Amino acid sequence: MVRIQDDLFEAVNAEWLDKTEIPADRPRIAAFDELVINNEKTLMTDFATITEFDEPVMNAFAKFYKKAGDFVERFEFGTEPVKPEIDKLLAITDFETLTTQFADLILNSQVPVPFGLSVDTDMKDAVHYALTFSGAGLILPDTTYYAPEHPRKAELLAFYTENTIDILKAFGFSADDAKTNVANTIAFDAILAQYVNTSEEWAKYAELYNPVVIEDFTSKLTTVPFASIIETLVGSLPEKVVVYEKRFYEHFDQIVNAANFELMKSWMLVKLIRSATHYLSDELRILGSEFSRQVSGTSEARSQEKHAFDLATEQYSQAVGLYYGHKYFGEAAKADVKRMTSEMIKVYQERLNTNTWLSRATIDKAIKKLDAMTIFIGFPDQLPEIYKQFTVNHDSIYSHIARFNVVRSHRHYEKFHEDVDKTEWHMPAHMVNAYFSPDSNTIVFPAAILQQPFYSATEQTPSQNYGGIGAVIAHEISHAFDNNGALFDEFGNMNNWWTDEDFKAFEAKQELMIAEFDGLEIAGAKVNGKLVVSENIADAGGLTAAMTAALREPEPDLTAFFTQWGEIWRLKASEAYQQMLLSMDVHAPGKLRANVQASNLDEFFETFNVKVGDGMWRDPAARVKIW
């Protein structure tokens, strides 16, 4: 029997780890996933029995949901719904013609293009939008998979090749044409992999902000008429374009050019067709998802019923979330969670006021940021207007998705000339998650996460709730002061409000957190400390603040607090999936989140009488403390 003193995660989750099996249609099972599965069952039961909703958008959702599950109709439509876009792409015979059609492809089709132009909140002017530029997505999960020594590179590319050939043949391509298109796609993907951002680079959010004045941008990229494309997308030329992927930008003309036209055209064709399989017959749906299952180590495709649920709720996510929030989230829970949030903001203010490594000037500005923080709990007040443009008729599911996406694309670029809506939620209420938005200084807690083991007003003690949802709430507050969030002010603008000396001290503490996790071995691979540092800073601050708040409750119980903390990170996953996450996920593995962060707190050692020689022991000097 494992003792808490040796391994908190294994000890508190022993029975769960022994009895719980990973569902065949998922790569993992975790505390988060158990709530997802439960919510899925609840909503599927509701939607199977309700004939009429109060909200008109939900009635449109119900029609779409029914259509998504009609696999007889999907079989009868075959691949015909995709043919017009395939034919349009195949009709393009030269690079120059392709470049004249990029804007139309972006706005009005499902055909992917080999670059990204997006409208995002301007990091330095958070009430306005900026046009941003990025590269294209890769076949393999992450740039590290392209290293010659990566153990899965050859295997995955071989599987992708055979799987894609089978898909193209199902669309009527000859074996030779299929092989040529797949070979071209892999060749173009290899070019992209040299220049797109690594996961570690994406994780350094503030460093993505590289503004380029429009004249320099359009003159630098000579192979594509970007001035014309941008004017078509947003109606005018902006003063600047924010470049997110500098290497891709610097080498763009070497990537997207006439010499690579055939490779690029095949890449666009293959990506279009592979994406389309998700919305076609059941045979094609399952065939099209084989590669992603191979990557993640998932043994089975989702059932028809679950697939229809996934597809419909994805398209109408905020509407389903609002339905869920109204039906299943109570005002009492909202008030209690709001109280806990206020308590932990107060804890943060107090800890900042007694901070010994920051100057008063920086402390005052940090507290000012805390005071300005906006908190959203449960669900938003209203639905986005865009859902009113989604109509459901006799067309194929693919045609519906295509129409919905065109509506989304046009709306996306329309926003460029509007002010940023700071009240917009970026997660639906039925999603089991939470987030901090640095560009609005907002923390959001959707209704679905406010359940056991994270929270229960009746089944869990205050100490347990603080070890669960309390630590999650404080984690999101802490993101305002992680290595990325700390660079944004109380208004959401990227603005260095630190003194130089204080920021150097903060960077030194970041290095300690990086070193604490870097190289830790799990699932046959190692943790990249730089990749996971922002989430680890948030975990450390969150656990500390939640514990402080728990100790102020009547009859505090740190045994229950730390036990709950260990339980919320319970997880079982395929080795392939865990290794994939280690290469690209900014979160540390669940077991390490539970154990390492607990071992940074002196109170953990006192609570469980952990001594030198125990597995959880960490020398006091090696315990990393930031917030």
pLDDT at 412: 98
Which residue among 489, 502, 535, 539 is the active-site one? Answer: 539
Classified as helix, coil or strand, 455 is coil
Query: How far apart are the C-alpha atoms of 589 and 532, rounded to whole Å?
Result: 10
- In the structure encoding, which two tokens stand for residue 424, read together? 């917009």
Domains of the chain, each with CATH number or no CATH: 81-301 (1.10.1380.10), 316-381+423-622 (3.40.390.10)
Task: State percent of the chain over pLDDT 90.
Answer: 97
Query: Closest by alpha carbon to 318, among 445, 431, 406, 409?
Result: 431
When pLDDT is averaged across residues 436-458 and rounded to a whole number, the result is 93
Give the C-alpha separation, 96 to 535, whole Å. 45
Measure the CA–CA gap between 477 and 124, rounded to whole angstroms. 21
Q: Taking Cα atoms as reference points, which of 488, 480, 462 lies closest to residue 343?
A: 462
| CA proximity to 208, closest of 268, 122, 279 | 122
Confidence of residue 60 (pLDDT cuts 50, 70, 90): very high
Sorted by sequence, the CB contacts under 8 Å of residue 504 that are 6+ apart come out as none
Using alpha carbons only, give the angle 237, 242, 246 rounded to the nearest 5 degrees. 130
Q: Round to whole Å and give the CA distance between 489 and 497.
A: 7
The pLDDT value given to residue 592: 97
- E strand or H helix that includes residue 308: helix 304-315
Does residue 334 have a pLDDT over 90?
no
Helix (H) or strand (E) holding 227: helix 226-234
For residue 498, pLDDT beyond 90: yes
Q: Please check the confidence at residue 6 and state whether its pLDDT lies above 90.
A: yes
Closest CA to 327 of 561, 50, 569: 50
Residue 173 CB partners (closer than 8 Å, separation 6+)? 181
For the segment 311-328, what is each residue's pLDDT rounded down to a tens digit? Answer: 999 999 999 999 999 999
Mean pLDDT of 91-115: 97
Q: Which residues of 499-528 are buried (b: 16+ CB within 10 A; e: fewer)?
A: eeebbebbeebbeebbebbbebebbebebb
pLDDT at 193 over 90: yes
What does the pLDDT read at residue 357?
95
What tens digit of pLDDT does each residue of 560-613 get?
Answer: 999 999 999 999 999 999 999 999 999 999 999 999 999 999 999 999 999 999
pLDDT at residue 144 is higher than 90: yes
Q: Would you call 539 a catalytic residue per the annotation?
A: yes
Q: Which helix (H) or strand (E) holds 65?
A: helix 56-68
In this prediction, residue 125 has a pLDDT band, given cuts at 50, 70 and 90, of: very high
176 is an active site residue: no
Longest dimension (CA), the chain: 75
Of 343, 476, 482, 516, which one is the catalytic site residue?
Answer: 476
pLDDT of 117: 98
Query: 3-state DSSP: the chain helix, strand, coil percent, rounded to 5?
Result: 60, 10, 30
Query: Quick count: other Cβ atoms within 10 Å of Cβ 600?
Result: 20
Rounded to an integer, the average pLDDT of 238-248 is 98
Paired strand residues for 376: 444
Q: What is the CA radius of gyration of the chain?
A: 25
**What would the mean pLDDT of 355-375 be, rounded to a whole number?**
96
What confidence tier does 455 reach under pLDDT thresholds 50, 70, 90?
very high
